[in-house]
Structure 1
């Protein structure tokens, strides 16, 4: 089908607490998916120029020829004209708050379970409006839909997908991918209370209480409700915000209460999903970290970073996972001497990483200490006693990115990205006391900027030749043909790049890329 993978998109907005917020949301035909941003950015000349982001809605319309379903003031999805067919590349706004508004409803907010059931009905209605047996039309058996959700909207999607009582099986089977912006997948925690209490019923804010969430998500336990069931977790993308400072709701009280490692409302650790395999092993959904707040002028939905992750996840052809296998980290000579004397040494390490895609002005994902999003490991986690062999289960998973060859700026159709990876010098303790001799804050044990380029070998997009280069040795262009091996048990290849820093403190390990076809 020429329409694939550009399936219809349903946007599910986030939470509105008060009646005024609900009525304001209902008054917007696009529920915020049309909100853009105008910000200053420094140009090559040194001057500051305005940068305009038109909104995800407008960008999808312009870049991928999607269209809305409003015409002459009418919602064509709701029309009584049974013969009317909508374009397959349609964007639908799920207006679940209409029934709770004073304009279109009774002013009483239904429970989140009703919102999930409504999403199921909407999907089936959309299927009937876009599918047909005519020439060029998509058959109902081929119909798929993408769900894109902000904040609580992601919980509505999960409730519908995970709880068989909250929708039709054929509606769930039609969902191809789910993209969530800043969704509190494991609830909302505040400084004052660990989790939103179940008795906090104002505006149905208890939707973010874990015990309440476990019920509508059909989970057996409520300690961690980020587990995805009845839907592949790898088909859900989590976009995580790391900027609490620019979240201005409640005059900054929300940002303070959520804490530094948050987007101002949702803590970073709570914004991701996972699944469990048959052995109980945890596997996380693909995710990216961007320095954006939960909403507002610096919000995560109306951001270029968010849009670039969205379209590559929905429409891309390659998925790249990066894992850092750490073989050894040596101590500074002074600390090693103390260890040899029998002193107890402790150390923990922060791993920073960012990824830039060729032709894109923004980092597609970024994890940094100063943004409270770096990956943290203690030495004991990576090298457990007594044998101190590397524990590969603790190898930092640096990122998942998606690449779209149709957006390549090269005539070869190749796709390329740059990875900046840093292992920071830790604070060492000797017998429980900080050891500050010859310590320089901000130093790192390892830093490399690595360029990777993948060339399609045929039109099938299944076979790729991969090259890489280190910026300090081959600046600006990947030039070393990589030795790749097939991934065990799945389609794709594995690329391993050895990394070493021989001075003390030193590092030895391997940056491992797992590159798979994506559809």
Structure 2
């Protein structure tokens, strides 16, 4: 794209894997006005960015500009859109005016699935111009059918008759909200995939998709509520168009139709900056979709302090973009799990427990992971004040059989994707982990014990600087307890046992745990 330069002063990588075409599938437009506004925009929200203020050393503020995921993909990775001279080359008949090969779509193309736009295909492949620009409200299945055809057209226009190029062709699907359900319908419902395009999908990234429906005032949207097609978020309705049998009343499973490890779920945790809908949605949400409904079983997911949409929305955030490009183009995956060995009680509670009192309580685990970079923002953030901390009961952790479990349910604190090509200095990826473990309000013989403890007392708290150095044939991890030491030191090597590499955590209160860090190749 002429005139654009990289915001990180890096040249775009050479056109090799993993750079496949990206198809963006926008979310739900509730009203007729919203649909009309949608079809009259070229990029349907993927071009929206955000600005943030950052305080400087002299008390002044500087604005940090995140241009948009669209513009960043163009600047940093050499992508371009599918529009030429006012024509959408990816729509039916779009290539008619450009038969010459130099107008073919490159592999690094971004295509917008314009499913809210009425489309009339004529026998000669041209599009009825009178119909273009008018909005329609298609069913989920109809939008998935059009997505299937769009993927096939993109393959044809990029690869032409080149047999090897067609055999190697893959595409990325990036979707917001209901757009993720359209992608799932393509993958899970054979009738919605007339072109057999699901085999061409390499990875799927969803922002705030209600994979298990939408709850209003604690109740799933009723099936009979068809106004504005809101019944699309009813679980019984979803089970039908996803060709899925609910499991324990839930429909957030790919049911083997697509590899779950290649399906990413970004979960928002900021309801406060969404519209008034947030008033009838649970606090543990992005303002529209609850955290418990925003993920796919066994798929990687990340919690971020973003709203469903708006100025602080997830699609137009740098946090969302950083996770997107690392998932699509990265080369490593990092999984962090804590295995507590001792969860001590405070001295008064311990004495009461020793005297035979009944004590009930659970634990909240916080973890915020922030990589070093030009404008460091957390890749993953699970916080108590965002209602996103990992919750575990004492029995789930240290007495699993009493909780009806075969093994302890240790908290997975973060599972993120990393890209060694984005290293700023040298050959080492550097990131900070902010860890905190707190107990909930304990109950002593059924009564509150708030008077026996200081508010918000931490059972364990530490900032850990993690350094991952790439070496021939692998990597080497070191760590620094940054609350006591400067983070630019050499650090200590991780210990290792039969379960993997870990950092030993302990303090003078008696807390003890192992923090396991599992690195794996990712392509």
How does the TM-score come out when normalised to structure 2?
A: 0.89
> 1:412-491 to 2 correspondence within 5 Å?
413-458=427-472, 462-477=473-488, 478-484=490-496
- 1:143 to 2:169 alignment: yes
What do residues 288-343 of structure 1 show as CA deviations (whole Å, max 9, x unaligned)?
11111111111111001011111111111110001111112111111111112211
1:166 equivalent to 2:192? Answer yes
Please tell me whether residue 234 in structure 1 is matched to residue 261 in structure 2. Answer: yes
User: Matches of residues 202-241 of structure 1 in structure 2 within 5 Å?
Assistant: 202-221=227-246, 223-229=249-255, 230-241=257-268
Distance 1:333 1:389 in 2: 29
CA contact 1:100–1:108 (8 Å) conserved in 2? no
* Cα deviation 1:331-363 (Å, max 9, x = unaligned): 111111111221110111111110010114111
Distance in 2 between residues matched to 1:88 and 1:393, nearest whole Å: 46
Q: CA deviation at 1:168?
A: 4.5
Shift of 1:239: 0.8
- Residue 425 of structure 1 and its aligned partner are, at CA, apart by 3.6
Partner of 2:110: 91
* Mapped pair 1:266 → 2:276: no
Q: Is the contact made by 1:349 and 1:423 (CA closer than 8 Å) also made in structure 2?
A: yes
CA shift for structure 1 position 187: 0.3
Kept in 2: contact 1:132–1:138 (CA 8 A) = no
Deviations 1:88-121 (A, max 9, x none): 1000000011028996377542211011111111
Q: CA 1:175/1:385 → structure 2, altered by over 3 Å: closer, same or farther?
A: closer
Q: Residue 511 of structure 1: which of 507, 511, 515 is its match?
A: 515
1:384, distance to aligned residue in structure 2 (A): 2.7
Which consecutive unaligned segments of at least 5 residues does structure 2 have? 1-13, 121-129
SS at match of 1:227: coil
Offset of residue 389 of structure 1: 12
- Partners of 2:238 and 2:76 lie apart in 1 by 37
Which of 271, 294, 299 is the aligned partner of 1:244?
271
CA distance in 2, matches of 1:107, 1:371: 37
Query: Which secondary structure state, in structure 1, belongs to the residue aligned with residue 220 of structure 2?
Result: coil
Q: Among residues 415, 425, 433, which one is paired with 1:400 in the alignment?
A: 415
Deviation at 1:472, TM superposition (A): 3.5
Q: CA deviation at 1:163?
A: 1.5
- In structure 2, how many angstroms separate the alpha carbons of the residues matched to 1:260 and 1:215? 29
Aligned-partner Cα distance in 1 for 2:107–2:382: 37
Gaps of 5+ in 1: 275-283, 488-493
Q: Which residue of 2 aligns with 1:27?
A: 40
Shift of the alpha carbon at 1:385? 6.6
Contact 1:145 1:176 in 2 (8 A): yes
Which of 76, 95, 104 is matched with 2:132 structurally?
104
Query: How far has the Cα of 1:475 moved from its partner?
Result: 2.1
Q: 2:368 corresponds to which residue? A: 354
Contact in 2 for aligned 1:99/1:106 (Cα 8 Å): yes
Q: 1:268 to 1:389 in 2, by over 3 A?
A: closer
RMSD of equivalent CA atoms: 2.3
Q: Deviations over 1:401-427 (max 9, x none)?
A: 11111110122x221221111101432
Choose the corresponding residue for 1:297, options 311, 319, 323.
311
Matched, 1:375 2:401: no
Could you tell me which residue of structure 1 aligns to residue 157 of structure 2?
A: 129
Say if 1:45 and 1:365 are closer, same or farther in 2 by CA, change over 3 A. Answer: farther
Which range is displaced more, 64-73 or 447-456? 447-456
* 1:387 Cα offset (Å): 7.5
Moved more, 30-39 or 165-174: 165-174
SS at match of 1:25: helix
Aligned equivalent of 1:116 = 144
C-alpha contact (below 8 Å) 1:381/1:391 kept by paired residues: no
Counterpart in the other structure of 1:364 = 379
Q: How does 1:317-356 map to 2 (within 5 A)?
A: 317-356=331-370
For residues 227 and 24 of structure 1, what CA distance do their matches in structure 2 show? 33
Task: Give the 3-state SS of the residue equivalent to 1:147 in structure 2.
Answer: strand
Moved more, 470-479 or 140-149: 470-479
Distance in 2 (CA, whole Å) between partners of 1:387 and 1:14 is 43
Alpha carbons of structure 1 residues 87 and 106: separation in structure 2 relative to 1, 3 Å: closer
1:56 correspondence with 2:82: no
Evaluate the alpha carbon distance shift between residue 168 and residue 482 of structure 1 in structure 2; reply closer, same or farther with a 3 A threshold: farther
CA 1:255–1:172: 2 relative to 1, 3 Å:
same
Q: Distance in 2 between matches of 1:258 and 1:14?
A: 18
Task: Tell which deviates more after alignment, 303-312 or 162-171.
Answer: 162-171
The answer to whether the Cα contact below 8 Å between 2:370 and 2:432 also exists between their aligned partners in 1 is: yes
In structure 2, do the counterparts of structure 1 residues 500 and 90 end up closer, same or farther at CA, with 3 Å as the change threshold?
A: same
Cα distance in 2 for residues equivalent to 1:231 and 1:83: 36
Distance in 2 between residues matched to 1:56 and 1:291, nearest whole Å? 17
> How many Å apart are 1:453 and its aligned residue?
1.7
Q: Deviations over 1:366-398 (max 9, x none)?
A: 111111111111112222377899975410011
CA contact (8 A) 1:23 1:103 kept: no
Contact 2:245 / 2:251 at 8 angstroms: preserved in 1?
A: no
Q: Give the alignment's TM-score, normalised by structure 1.
A: 0.90
Query: SS at the partner of 2:266?
Result: strand
- Give the Å deviation of 1:203: 1.5
